Amino acid sequence: MSDKRVAAVTGANRGIGFEICRQLAGRGVRVVLTSRNAAKGRVAASKLAAERLEIDYHRLDVTSARSVAALAAFVDSRYARLDILVNNAGVMLDPRGSRVLSSDIETYRATLETNFFGPLRLVQALVPLMRKRGYGRIVNLSSGLGQLSEMGAGTPAYRVSKAALNVLTRTLAAELAGENILVNSMCPGWVKTDMGGPSATRTVEKGADTAAWLATLADNGPTGGFFRDRKPIPW
C-alpha cells in the first residue's frame, strides 16, 4: 500500500474546491475529488488528471447519509486510509436582501443541511479512518460572514450555517486533542467564483491557499483555529 497521503475534497468540480484539489495534488497528495453532479465531477477530475496530477473521483451528495457512507466505503476499500478531509461543499440560499424578520425558516433548514449537517456526517464517517493511522487534517471552509465578532445583517441563513460550522470545528478539535487529527476553519475571502461573483477581489488560487496549507500542517500545527491568509482571525 502506498505511503502517499489521501485527501477527500467535497464540492470540488469547480471554484475553490477544484483549486484546492489542484494545490493538494501538486504537493504529492492523492486526491479524491467529489461532487454532487457526477458528469461535472468527472470532467473536473479529467482536467486535473491531464495535468498529470493524481486525482480520483467519487460522487457525493453531502445531504445524503447513504452517499456519505458510500464515499467512506470507497475510500476504505481503495486506499485503506484517509488523511485529509476538506469540507468545501456549501450553498448560499438566502434571497437577495434577505433579513431575519422576513426570512423563510425552510431556507435555514436547507442551508444547514449542506453547510453544517454535511460536514458533520462526513467527519462521523471518515474520522475513524484517520484514527486507524493516528493522523488527520480536517479543514472546514467557513466565512467571515459567520464570525460572531463581526456579525451583521443580511444573508442570515448562510451566516447561521457558517457560525454552526465553526462550532463544529471547535468542539471536534477538542474531542480529538492529542490524537494528531487537526481540525480548523478558514475563510477564503471574497473570491471570483460562481458564488462570489465577477466583482470579487480575490483569485481562486489565493482563496484556496490557506485550505491547502491547513490540510498539510505539520504535527505541531494549530488545531481548533479560524484562519484567513494563513493567519488566525477572531471567531
Q: With cut-offs at 50, 70 and 90, classify the pLDDT of residue 224.
A: very high
What does the block give as the cell for 60? 457525493
**In terms of Cα–Cα distance, which of 64, 151, 144, 30 is closest to 100?**
151
Domain count, the chain: 1
Domain at 145, CATH number:
3.40.50.720
Residue 231, in any domain of the structure: no
Query: What is residue 189's predicted lDDT score, i.e. its pLDDT?
Result: 81
The pLDDT of residue 145 is above 70: yes
How far apart are the C-alpha atoms of 98 and 85, rounded to whole Å?
32
Supply the residues annotated as catalytic: 158
Q: Are 169 and 183 in contact (CB under 8 A)?
A: yes
Residue 60, in any domain of the structure: yes
Residue 207, in any domain of the structure: yes
pLDDT one-digit tens code per residue, 36-65: 999 999 999 999 999 999 999 999 999 999
Residue 75, in any domain of the structure: yes
Spell out the alpha helix ranges (H) of 113-175: 118-133, 156-175
Residue 1, in any domain of the structure: no
Whole-number mean pLDDT of the chain? 95
Give the C-alpha distances (Å, rounded to integers) separating 105 from 35, 110, 112, 129. 26, 9, 11, 36
Domain interval for residue 126? 6-226
How far apart are the C-alpha atoms of 131 and 181, rounded to whole Å?
8
DSSP 12-46: -SSHHHHHHHHHHHHTT-EEEEEESSHHHHHHHHH
Residue 20, in any domain of the structure: yes
Q: Are 235 and 225 in contact (CB under 8 A)?
A: no
Tell me the mean pLDDT in the region 18-23: 98
Counting Cα atoms < 13 Å in the Cβ hemisphere of 45 gives 22
pTM: 0.95
